Amino acid sequence: MRKNSSVYGVEMITKTMNKRITLSDVAELAGVSAITVSRVLNQPEKVSENVKIKVQGAIDKLGYIPNRSASALASARSGVIGVVIPSLSNSVFNDVLRGVYEVTGPAGYQVLLVDTHYSPLEEERMVRTLLGQAPEAMILTGGNQTQHTRNLLIKADIPVVQIMEAVEDPIDMNVGFSHKQAAYEVVSKIIASGYDKMGFLGARMDPRAQQRLQGYRQAMESAGLSTEGLIVTTPRPSSIAMGSELFKSLMSKTSGICNAIFCVNDDLALGSLFECQRMHISVPSDMAICGFNDIEASALVNPPLSSVRVPRHEMGVIATEMLLRALSGESIVEKTVDSGYELKLRESTSTEIKW
């Protein structure tokens, strides 16, 4: 005599409580074959609605979690895109990730996100870990990968996009801009408005920060100005408090002769602005301050900070769209995209600067 289906379901759930739920368990409870369950999970368009409902009901009752690694081996598709960023705590990358998720979600892809802590060796380890999950494509930050990381990605033969900076020799595709050129342009503008003792404040000094320092040096040299004694940097992480600390160090080092500073990011610029206010230094008449990244707070402080707007969200969107086009078999003609940047004039430098 056939058991009542609800009783059978209770027995089945009890039987599987103390072991890992398998695809076969789902098939047994749903009254279908394991192949049918696999089709429901990986090719739902090939299965009737009635069968999908039965299988999904069994999955929900048993709490079955599909083994994506096994699915990837069977179908050569994992539905996963790996994303490698240098810091989960740096808010600058939030906008990038928002752009990535906006594209991957509707397309049915999942994101595996890793943090390299600004270390090329940690990035190498994380890339190896991600490749073990059979990602279909990968997004990396910048172009400072080790040669071994590059080799791993080339051998993986998957679409790769490096973002956040213009990379001279991309692994595959690149979406970014020249940090050196952006810094050169903004520093040149401030010098042209009459500030002739311009300092530089930098923290962490990752490759993109180094490029901004190069742009600052080039602008100062082009204007015939010396940078001697005007550069203060630290390998420590960036923060508003660090900006205040570095600003005080610069003022002490130069005996207060500085009349402008270019900060490697807005956190340092905000810290410098607040320290100026504590020291009763007028901004911008006695001290011009400029940051980089144009975070939301930059436009809201008093006086508002001049900065370089970076299209972070747009870079995330463009990079992910390029990956999906490559995965669909489309030939990507323009593999390098210059995302550009925008110089933002605000009162912390001078209302007379023509941007």
> Percent of the chain scored above 70 by pLDDT?
90
For residue 266, what is the enclosing H or E element? helix 266-278
Strand ordering across the sheet containing 231-234: 231-234, 198-203, 260-263, 288-290
Percent helix, strand and coil across the chain, each to the nearest 5: 50, 15, 35
Q: Could you say which architecture CATH assigns to the domain 179-309?
A: 3-Layer(aba) Sandwich (3.40)
Long-range Cβ pairs for the range 15-21 (8 Å, 24+): 16/62, 21/62, 21/63, 21/64, 21/65
In this predicted structure, the answer to whether residue 355 has a pLDDT above a threshold of 50 is no
Res 1: pLDDT? 45
Task: Give CATH superfamily name and number for 5-66.
Answer: lambda repressor-like DNA-binding domains (1.10.260.40)
**Which numeric CATH code is attached to 76-177+312-339?**
3.40.50.2300
Query: What's the mean pLDDT when you consider all of the chain?
Result: 90
- Residue 327: pLDDT over 50: yes
Q: What is the pLDDT of residue 353?
A: 47
Cα R_g (the chain), whole angstroms: 27
The full set of domain ranges for the chain reads 5-66, 76-177+312-339, 179-309
CA distance 118 to 204: 9
pLDDT digits (tens, 9 = 90+) for 69-81: 555 555 557 789 9
Which pair of structure tokens corresponds to residue 243? 């900006």
pLDDT at 11: 54
Q: Does residue 171 surpass a pLDDT of 90? A: yes
The pair phi, psi for residue 284, each rounded to 5°, is -105, 0
Residues 6+ apart with CB under 8 A from 247: 201, 261, 268, 271, 272, 275, 276
pLDDT for the residue 12: 55
CATH topology of 5-66 equal to that of 179-309? no
pLDDT (tens digit, 9 = 90+) per residue, 89-139?
A: 888 999 999 999 999 999 999 999 999 999 999 999 999 999 988 999 999
Residue 354 has a pLDDT of 45
Q: 15 pLDDT exceeds 60?
A: no
**Partners of 92 in beta bridges:** none
